[in-house]
């Protein structure tokens, strides 16, 4: 009889394959449903929670923020083994920064009780790390939230993140998520010139100018 851990890993792999197939399909012509959540917390950090059960197709998520300076710094799911079964896109702020909207796609086989949590925080101290040779330009790192992982805030760590991104990019590997010095990062393209890449992890945001194609 298979163990619970083995079954979860198998289901996680199945969900990851399913979402890859889902995201390869053309987007639906109109949004399929919507959900709104209040971001619970304070003026410096808060958390908004949505259900992932049953999946979603171009579902519009709206987060009501307690302030106008909060930015999305992380999105996590529980249980962790459904992490490859959803995607977020078209994130934007409105009403002076007090409302955040994004589009959710997720596979139908996500089980009951699965949750998506969006974490928002105010950027605090930032460092300009452009003088470190990494192969990318305009490298910076900023604190977000009240705490940072050990060693996460500093230009050496920012440089390691940029180097890891470039190595994976040149090898044709996924650059959407990876770990650097035991800190997990989620990376995405952002409409920010010239820092078009943003990697969030360990209570920090690393930004830099990066290649986007071959």
Q: Which residues are paired to 17 by β-bridges?
A: none
| Residues 20 and 110 reside in one and the same domain | yes
- Mean pLDDT for all residues in the chain: 83
Instruction: Say yes or no to pLDDT of 31 above 80.
Output: no
Instruction: Say yes or no to pLDDT of 203 above 80.
Output: yes
What is the pLDDT at residue 83? Answer: 77
- DSSP string of 160-193, one letter each residue: HHHHHHHHHHHTT---SEEEETTEEEEEEE-S-S
| Residues 38 and 101 reside in one and the same domain | yes
Higher pLDDT, 41 or 212: 41
Q: Which two tokens stand for residue 200?
A: 């969030």
Whether residue 71 lies inside any domain: the answer is: yes
CB 59 within 8 A of CB 32: yes
Query: Which of the four pLDDT bands, split at 50, 70 and 90, describes residue 32?
Result: low
What is the pLDDT at residue 213? Answer: 63
Mean pLDDT of 103-131: 90
| Residues 100 and 172 reside in one and the same domain | no
Mean pLDDT of 19-39: 59
Higher pLDDT, 7 or 34: 34
pLDDT tens digit sequence for 76-106 = 888 888 877 888 888 899 999 999 999 999 9
| Residues 135 and 202 reside in one and the same domain | yes
Helices (H), 25-101: none
Task: State the sign of the Cα–Cα–Cα–Cα dihedral 173, 55, 49, 113.
Answer: negative
What is the pLDDT at residue 101? Answer: 96
Among 78, 98, 122, residue at a domain's last position: 122
| Residues 96 and 140 reside in one and the same domain | no
pLDDT tens digit sequence for 149-200 = 999 999 999 999 999 999 999 999 989 899 999 999 999 888 778 899 999 9
Higher pLDDT, 163 or 12: 163
* Residues of the domain holding 204: 129-209
What is the pLDDT at residue 19? Answer: 45
| Residues 133 and 108 reside in one and the same domain | no
Instruction: Say yes or no to pLDDT of 58 above 90.
Output: yes
| Residues 9 and 108 reside in one and the same domain | yes
Mean pLDDT of 113-139: 87
What is the pLDDT at residue 150? Answer: 93
Range among 19-23, 113-117, 123-127, 135-139 rated most confident = 113-117
Q: For residue 112, how many other CB atoms are within 10 A of its CB?
A: 8
Q: How many domains does the chain fold into?
A: 2
With 0.85 as the threshold, say if the pTM is over it: no
């Amino acid at each position: 009889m298979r163990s619970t851990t083995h079954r979860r890993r198998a289901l996680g792999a199945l969900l990851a394959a399913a979402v890859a197939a889902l995201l390869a399909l053309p987007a639906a012509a109109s949004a399929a449903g919507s959900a709104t959540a209040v971001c619970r917390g304070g003026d410096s950090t808060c958390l908004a929670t949505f259900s992932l059960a049953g999946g979603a197709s171009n579902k519009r998520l709206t987060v009501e923020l307690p302030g106008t300076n909060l930015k999305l710094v992380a999105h996590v799911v529980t249980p962790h083994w459904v992490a490859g079964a959803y995607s977020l896109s078209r994130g934007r702020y409105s009403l002076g920064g007090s409302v955040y909207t994004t589009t959710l796609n997720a596979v139908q086989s996500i089980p009951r009780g699965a949750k998506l949590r969006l974490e928002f925080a105010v950027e605090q101290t930032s460092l300009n790390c452009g003088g470190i040779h990494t192969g990318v330009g305009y490298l910076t790192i900023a604190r977000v939230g009240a705490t940072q992982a050990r060693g996460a805030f500093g230009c050496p760590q920012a440089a390691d993140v940029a180097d890891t991104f470039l190595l994976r990019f040149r090898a044709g590997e996924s650059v959407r998520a990876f770990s650097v010095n035991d800190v997990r990062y989620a990376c995405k393209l952002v409409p920010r010139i010239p820092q078009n890449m943003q990697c969030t992890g360990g209570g920090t945001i690393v930004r830099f100018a990066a290649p986007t194609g071959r």
